[in-house]
Structure 1
């Protein structure tokens, strides 16, 4: 069974879960961690370690973090090097999170991660450029393909 840990700076992780629940309803396989000014690196590491080691026997954690090179991702990476029993994906955005969490058990962990990363990348669009390329075209031409 997949369990997701949304781990970010500040209260962003909590807001991501609230947004997920707004869109898809309550989920039981998602938890969160927020790195605040009140938490030292050591305290944060202990809290994350406690979350990641409290998993059930058949659970696999997938940790979604906000920024590569940020303190949250770095601490999670330290824990990964110690335990090597979970996955970390950084660069979290809403399309990634929705794709991964809503995939259920239909996809393998590897395929689910690949789909999540693909969705994250495809969800990044510079609208101004899109509008510039679409000006003057028929409505049917506004459908974007590769």
Structure 2
């Protein structure tokens, strides 16, 4: 079974949860870790419990907010030598939704494809080009 983990420092993961569920629906195979948000939380314990819930045939995709951050580091250490666990850092909303909704087999090739989705979903809008004309005609906005 495919499992998705969204993990961040602070409340970013929890905030993403609301938006992800709006677009992709509630999914019991998606878990969220918002590290360092409560005084009594123990990140190591949270990660240990999470990994204990994985079956050997699960394919797990973990999204972390920041490469080299403590959340990423602890999850990476725990995932070492587990061929069924994949970690993507620097996630964004489109890549997480893609991972949740996709029916593709989770493997290294698919993970690289997800990273490409994340990259291509980041861009800029030329507001000068798309500015509304004096006729208030914005029909070419999406072109």
Q: How does the TM-score come out when normalised to structure 1?
A: 0.78
- Cα contact 2:7–2:34 (8 A) shared by 1: yes
Provide Cα deviations, 1:11-54, integer angstroms capped at 9, x if missing partner. Answer: 211121211111121112101111115367xx312211210121
Q: Which moved more, 1:43-52 or 1:79-88?
A: 79-88
Q: Is the aligned partner of 1:46 residue 2:17?
A: no
CA 1:107–1:133 in structure 2 vs 1: closer, same or farther (change >3 Å)?
A: same
**Alignment partners' CA distance in 1, 2:83 and 2:74:** 13
- The runs of 5 or more residues in structure 2 that have no matched partner are 132-138
CA-CA distance at 1:118 after TM superposition: 1.3
- Assess, with a 3 A threshold, how the Cα gap between structure 1 residues 53 and 82 changes in structure 2: closer, same or farther: farther
SS of corresponding position for 1:31: strand
Other structure's SS at 1:108 match: coil
Name 1:31's counterpart in structure 2: 31
Partner of 2:117: 119
State how far apart, in whole Å, the 1-side matches of 2:113 and 2:27 are. Answer: 20
* C-alpha RMSD of the superposition: 2.6
| CA-CA distance at 1:140 after TM superposition | 6.5
Aligned to 2:136: none
Correspondence 1:80 to 2:73: no
Structure 1 segments unaligned to the other structure (5+ residues)? none
The 8 Å contact of residues 2 and 59 in structure 2, kept in 1 or not, is answered as yes
Which residue matches 2:54? 55
Structure 1 residue 141: Cα displacement:
10
Asked whether the equivalents of residues 57 and 84 of structure 2 are also in contact (C-alpha less than 8 Å), the reply is: no
Q: Which secondary structure state, in structure 1, belongs to the residue aligned with residue 80 of structure 2?
A: helix
Residues 7, 33 of structure 1: 8 Å contact kept: yes
Please identify which structure carries the higher helix content: 1
